[in-house]
Copies of this chain bind each other. A is one copy, B any other.
Amino acid sequence: MDLIREDSFILVYRDRRRKWLVRPVDTPKLHTHLGILDCASLVGKPFGIVTATTMNDTLYVLKPTLEDIVMKFARRTQVIYPKDLAMIIMRCGIHSGSRVFEAGTGSGAATATFAYMVGPQGHVYSYDVNTEFQDVARKNLEKFGLIDAVTLKAKDAKEGIEETELDTALVDMGDPWELVANVKKALAPSGVMAAICPTANQAERLTERMKEEGFVNVETIEVLVRNLEARVGMTRPSQFMIGHTCYVTFGRKTE
């Protein structure tokens, strides 16, 4: 059984809006407006326990899921949303052993997700010219124990991609069409390219370029997630939902 260690991330959960992702080593005492939680005293205990603050408010100590981790990366830069990452993983088939390339490390949220999925047999290569972003991403990847599966390079993918025979490439840059030729070279035969396109114009221009380069099954999707508030006799969809994050464009390389 998985026990809480000093450097384990724990999700202290009260409800959907009040939750904290901390480590006992950094945050021995978690101060909330509901009282103080003695995180240090949780070390050695199992995840999933029900505890209380000094003001006797009930809190749940959970093991963070991938989504908790991804949302934690969302600090300084735009983060790719879990709903979009989910479809990228599924469509590209990123899994145990995959070799994944990423242009635009950004916050590192996608990097971390891919590192989590590919495990020790796979690897993630992530380029970004912004070294400040990469330093933040590196620190986060280290903290979450994901750095071994990742190589971060302070490089512009437009000037070339050093890796080859990659299973998947994700492009998260403002001008993804500029990367298509390089991505094609770097991908293994029949490899899948995905790109984040906030606007319809980007998707339009990228699609045209990908078709020119011989990508097939070029498709653009948008993903909408709506919560259902399920309560006995009063079930209704959530009043609020996110209307748009980005389009995601996919294509498969042919010779």
List, in ascending order, chain B residues with CB within 8 A of A230's CB: 200, 203-204, 206-207, 220, 247, 249
Q: Which one, B47, B83, B117, B121, contacts A117 given CB within 8 A?
A: B117
* Known A85-B90, A189-B1, A241-B241; contact A200-B235, beta-carbon cutoff 8 A: yes
A→B interface (CB under 8 Å): 1-2, 13, 16, 46-50, 60-63, 65-67, 82-83, 85-87, 89-93, 95-97, 113, 116-122, 165, 188-192, 198-201, 203-208, 214, 216-217, 219-245, 247, 249, 252-255
List, in ascending order, chain B residues with CB within 8 A of A228's CB: 200, 203, 220-222, 247
Q: Tell me, rounded to whole Å, the shortest Cβ–Cβ distance linking A58 to chain B.
A: 10
List, in ascending order, chain B residues with CB within 8 A of A226's CB: 221-222, 224, 243-244
- By the criterion CB–CB under 8 Å, are A89 and B87 in contact? no
Complex CA gap A82/B221 in Å reads: 13
Q: Which one, B48, B97, B217, contacts A189 given CB within 8 A?
A: B48
- By the criterion CB–CB under 8 Å, are B95 and A90 in contact? no
Considering only CB atoms, which chain B residue lies closest to A189 in the complex?
A: B48
Complex CA gap A88/B222 in Å reads: 18
Q: Which one, B46, B97, B220, contacts A227 given CB within 8 A?
A: B220
List, in ascending order, chain B residues with CB within 8 A of A239's CB: 242-245
List, in ascending order, chain B residues with CB within 8 A of A96's CB: 95-97, 117-122
* Known A236-B244, A240-B242; contact A224-B221, beta-carbon cutoff 8 A: no
- By the criterion CB–CB under 8 Å, are A48 and B253 in contact? yes
